[in-house]
Structures are given as structure tokens and as C-alpha cells.
Amino acid sequence: MKCVRCGARASVRLRRHRTSFCEKCYTLYFERQVERAIEEFDMFRKDEKVLVAVSGGKDSMSLWNVLLEKGYRVIALHIDLGIGQYSRSSRGVVEKFAKEKGAELIVYDLKERYGKSLRTLIKERKKLVPCRICGTVKRYVMNRVALEHEVDCVVTAHTLDDCCAFLFASLLSWDLEQISRQDVLLDAGEGLVRKAKPLYRLTDEECRLYATINSIPFVHEKCPYSRGAISIQLKDMFDQLEKKIPSVKQQFYFGFLRRGKKAFQKNVKEASLVPCRICGMPTIEGRDLCFFCTLMRGEK
Amino acid sequence: MKCVRCGARASVRLRRHRTSFCEKCYTLYFERQVERAIEEFDMFRKDEKVLVAVSGGKDSMSLWNVLLEKGYRVIALHIDLGIGQYSRSSRGVVEKFAKEKGAELIVYDLKERYGKSLRTLIKERKKLVPCRICGTVKRYVMNRVALEHEVDCVVTAHTLDDCCAFLFASLLSWDLEQISRQDVLLDAGEGLVRKAKPLYRLTDEECRLYATINSIPFVHEKCPYSRGAISIQLKDMFDQLEKKIPSVKQQFYFGFLRRGKKAFQKNVKEASLVPCRICGMPTIEGRDLCFFCTLMRGEK
């Protein structure tokens, strides 16, 4: 098995591309895929300021590294959710990497800022799926910090696997509005910073390989609340399907972006946004408080 | 575990409906679901003539039985595909059942009529997936026989599992035209008889139960060409998903019928049909021969 690029002995095989790489050329491939995503969708330019959300996992650490290596103006944001050892390990990994790289990092401690950790919020809202609460918190904090730091684009490390799972989840319930919002680039709106997913062309496994080959540290533990999460089950399902039908993930997600998405846009009218009474951040018209403030106030 | 309907000891548990039935009430449930599908979509009336396609498998044998029991004007059509022991067993089961029930049955022997069995067609077209060839043959023969017998509606035994697998397969490639054609009722067109799927509310497993409880014979062998078929893999995938998320199949497919489908209709213009030069049956405009005649002539 030879590297398709340089002819050296290959150590990485990518079944979905029917190709093999040596470690060095795999790194080039991975970084090129990130750059290709950024350029193809005009996600952000090198002179713009981007905020990359880093959990400490293999995907976000890989993305952060690529953005730094490629000379983007990047600030990293780590949200300390306060869920025990998992949060302590994650924060440790992120802080150490930032120091070694001399990279700009904002650590946002949820409990310190709002008096409540994610663990507390989850306990207060037993009827809600933890991922729902965590997603709200993360999206809120990312956008808020991005506005405060006058950042041009918020960048998240959603991979092809994440994109497939989210898209399929929204298709399972045929919520047309939710389907129409699936994208790799969400334009800025009133009070909302532009959002981009430059890893949408790469899988979880490819991120793990990139991080390992390039000695990028990452947290190996899984979030204690992720067990049984629908998104994990759907990702497993796509992994199994990919083994049987190589490249099915990219076929499904790229096909949606190129052909499927347009079917949904005509059917959905965008929700109007109004400022939340407490924090002034955007919320859906007709609501007094945004969901984040509702959670933080412990209201039901 | 008690039967939700009569309180007797239940022997069937339907997780997706969170309910249990005794054998007698399960039979009522099953037949009611078929009738509900027929009525809800106005598939066909009791005074209309319907042609039910029976392979000899659990699904089509169950459907045939329900239609006979409920007093529909039904003719069964069995296509003898000529694929060895599997075809011989299937034909035997169907002929025996028709005789016992005094039911009208047409056996259409492919080799006898056209000089070629499905096995021959598959050998001649090694590049095509066998299911593609078989599907073409079955759809063609069903429609042709329906026209010859002046039938009002062709009825197939596609179950909820089949519908989910087909819909998901079409979503994997985001072929908008193919997605928009997914339905439980296809209206008649020029040279095309109306088609309906009255089992769309019931699963494969529920058909197996109905057939077993009511001593309806069916072929237990699987089609020798079905190994590795994408549709089987997608059905397995939905089975696994259903175990984790009960009722996910009906949520996905019923949701598509109620909400999803409308998104696609506006994006697709229907293909114009013209008569095939050889057989006169409808084919897509621009083609000289229909795909069935192309296959039968051995043309590439």
C-alpha cells in the first residue's frame, strides 16, 4: 500500500476516497480539506477575526491546530461546563495546548459567570434531554463572546459525522424549518454572528488520525451525559452503513447541500427575532426571555 | 400482560404502539390497519377490481388474505420469475392457497411468455443490480396484466419497513424526482394503472405474526439475489434504530407523507411518457423502447 501522493509507504487508508496516504501527506490532505471547505463556501477570510469553539475533543483540537498552522486570526473559546472530571480534563488539555502554541484562549466558566454549572441546569430540568440544554448554553455563549470580541465568524468543529446525524435526526421528524436550517455556513443576522463548520468534509475518525499523527493532545473521555444520546446512536448507524456502502456519508450530506436543501427553502419562512428582556440577545418573536435566560433563572 | 382490547392474556406485544394483544384481537388490529390505510387515502372501493401482486412471502400472503376476508374484488397475480427452487416454492405456496380459498389467481410465467427467466436477464446484465432488473420486470408485468384485465388498482404488499428503506435510499442520493414519487398511492396516468400500498402502516414483523397466527402459508426462503441488497441493509438499519427509538419508522415515514412530501412536489416536473415502440406500454419521452423491452431484447 503506497501513498497516493508521494509513493512512500502508506499508513492511512481512506476507504471512502479509495486512497492511501503516508502520515505526512495525510496531514496535507486533512488541512487541504479544511481550507477547501472554507474557500468553497467563503466561510471567512484570513484578515477576518474568527472564534473557534474548543471542547478539548479530537475534532475541535484538530480544527484549532489547522487554523493556527494556516495563519488564520483565531481566538479559541473554551466553555467550562462544570461537569466534574470531564470538564477538568478538557480545560486542562485546552489550556496546556494554548500555552504551548502561544495561542489566544478565552476560558468561559459557566458557574463563575452565571452561578450555575451545566450539571445544575440538567438537574433542574430533568424532563429535558441534557444535549438540548448543553447545545443551548454553548450556542448562547459562543454568540455572546463573539459579539463582545467583535469577531467576524464563529467556527465550530462539526464533522461530516455530526452533520449526517443532525440532518438525519431532522429528517426523522420532518420538521421542515429545522431541515432548512442545516448548513455549513449560517449568515449573520440581527444579534447573531456568522457561523461556519470547516470540518464538514472530514469524519470523526479522520480527525482522530490527524490529531494522533500530529501529536495534538485531546480528551479521550466521553461526556458523561452522552450515553444513549440520539446523536451518538445516529452516528453509530452511519458508521455501520459506511462500512457497507463506502462514501455514503458524504453522498448523503454533500447531496443535501447541493440538491436537497433547495427543496426546503421555499417552504419555510424565517422566524422573526426580538431581544431577550434580560440579556438583550436575540430570541424568537413572541417570547419574553431567551431559552438561556429561562434556564439560568430556573424557570419552567 | 393483558390484551388491551379484551383483557385476555396477551401474546403479542407491539412496542411501537406501547400495546399488547391476544391473537384474536391482534388479527383485528392488523386488518383494521389495512382498512384504515385503504380508507384514509381512498386507495380503492369495494366495488372496484383490484389486482394484488403476490410473491408468496409473508407480506403479500397476509395482504391477499385480508383483502379476501374483507370482501374486496381481488385478483391475485403471481409472477413466476424462474429463479430455481425459490420460484418453485413460491409458486407452490400461492397456487395451494388460491385453491383452498377459491381465490382468483393469475400465474404469469416469465420464461413461458418472453422466453427469458429473471435468472437469464440477470446473467445478461451483470453490471446491473439484480433488484433493479427484478423491479422493472415486476412493475411492467403488474401494469400490463392490470390493463389487460381492466383492473382499477394494482395493490402491492410494501410494508412500513419497505417504505422507510426506499425513502431513505432516495434521500441518500437526494434525487428530488425519486423522492417526490415516494407515496402510498400513485394515481393512474396514461397507460399506467393506479397503484396502492395498503400495508404501509404495518411492519414486516407484524405481517409475519399475522400470517403465523392465522395459519397463512408463506415461503420462508429468501430470494437468492437479495443477499447484500441495499434495501435489506437499510431495513436492518431501521430495525436496529427502532429498537433504540421505538416508533421511529412510523415517525419517519408518516411524517414524510404528512409534512415532508410537499417540500419536494414543487421542485419536480413530471417526466412525459410516450408509448414503447415494441409493446406500446408507457416509457419516458425520448426513449424508443421501454426498459422491459430493452432487457428482453438483450440490448445494452
Q: Identify the helix (H) or strand (E) that includes residue A77.
A: strand A73-80
> How much of chain B is in helix, strand and coil states, percent to nearest 5?
50, 15, 35
Residue A4, pLDDT score:
96
Contacts of A264 in chain B (CB under 8 A): 263
Residue A227, pLDDT score:
82
Contacts of A267 in chain B (CB under 8 A): 262-263, 266
Residue A265, pLDDT score:
82
- Bridge partners for A76 per DSSP: A52, A105
CB–CB contact B263 A176 (8 Å):
yes
Partner-chain residue, chosen from B174, B175, B259, that has the shortest CB–CB distance to A176? B259
Per CATH, the homologous superfamily of domain A34-264 is HUPs (3.40.50.620)
Please check the confidence at residue A88 and state whether its pLDDT lies above 90.
Answer: yes
Residue A232 to chain B, least CA–CA distance (Å): 11
The predicted-structure confidence for B145-183, as pLDDT tens digits, reads as follows 999 999 999 999 999 999 999 999 999 999 998 999 999
Mean pLDDT of chain B: 94
CB–CB contact B252 A172 (8 Å):
yes
Per-residue confidence band for A206, with pLDDT thresholds at 50, 70 and 90: very high
The pTM of the full predicted model, rounded to 2 decimals, is 0.92
- Where are chain B's structural domains? 33-269, 271-300
The predicted-structure confidence for B77-86, as pLDDT tens digits, reads as follows 999 999 999 9
Q: Which of these, A159, A154, A184, lies nearest to A40 by C-alpha position?
A: A184
End-to-end Cα separation, chain B, in angstroms: 58
Q: What is the ipTM of this complex?
A: 0.89
Average pLDDT for residues B86-113, to the nearest whole number? 97
Per-residue confidence band for B267, with pLDDT thresholds at 50, 70 and 90: low
Partner-chain residue, chosen from B241, B255, B259, that has the shortest CB–CB distance to A237? B241
Average pLDDT for residues B33-44, to the nearest whole number? 98
In sign, the C-alpha dihedral spanning B58, B64, B67, B71 is negative
Residue A198, pLDDT score:
98
Residue B184: φ, ψ to 5°:
-95, -10
Strand A73-80 and strand A105-109: the pairing is parallel
Q: Which of these, A178, A184, A168, A159, lies nearest to A233 by C-alpha position?
A: A168
* Residue B11 burial by Cβ neighbours in a 10 Å radius (0-12, 13-18, 19+): middle
Residue A300, pLDDT score:
66
The predicted-structure confidence for A246-266, as pLDDT tens digits, reads as follows 999 999 999 999 999 998 886
DSSP letter at A9 equals B
Vertex B41 angle, CA B35 and B44, to 5°? 65
Strand B73-80 and strand A12-14: the pairing is unpaired
Contacts of A176 in chain B (CB under 8 A): 259-260, 263
Best mutation target among B160, B174, B242 (most A Cβ atoms within 10 Å) is B174
Residue B68, pLDDT score:
98
How many CB atoms are located within 10 Å of the residue B48 CB?
13
- Classified as helix, coil or strand, A8 is coil
Contacts of B229 in chain A (CB under 8 A): none
Please check the confidence at residue B208 and state whether its pLDDT lies above 90.
Answer: yes
Mean pLDDT of chain A: 94
The predicted-structure confidence for A20-59, as pLDDT tens digits, reads as follows 999 999 999 999 999 999 999 999 999 999 999 999 999 9
Please tell me the distance from the alpha carbon of residue B53 to that of residue B133, in angstroms, as a whole number.
17
Partner-chain residue, chosen from B233, B241, B264, that has the shortest CB–CB distance to A244? B233
Q: Count the residues in chain A.
A: 300
Partner-chain residue, chosen from A175, A244, A263, that has the shortest CB–CB distance to B267? A263
Tell me if A28 sits within 8 A of A69, measured CB to CB: no
Please check the confidence at residue A69 and state whether its pLDDT lies above 80.
Answer: yes
Please check the confidence at residue A296 and state whether its pLDDT lies above 80.
Answer: yes
Residue B248 to chain A, least CA–CA distance (Å): 7
Higher pLDDT, A299 or A226: A226
Please tell me the distance from the alpha carbon of residue B234 to that of residue B244, in angstroms, as a whole number.
16
Q: Tell the CATH topology of B33-269.
A: Rossmann fold (3.40.50)
How far apart, in Å, are the Cα atoms of B195 and each of A50, A191, B93? Answer: 55, 51, 25
Please tell me the distance from the alpha carbon of residue B191 to that of residue B282, in angstroms, as a whole number.
6
Residue B227, pLDDT score:
82
The predicted-structure confidence for A115-142, as pLDDT tens digits, reads as follows 999 999 999 998 999 999 999 999 999 9
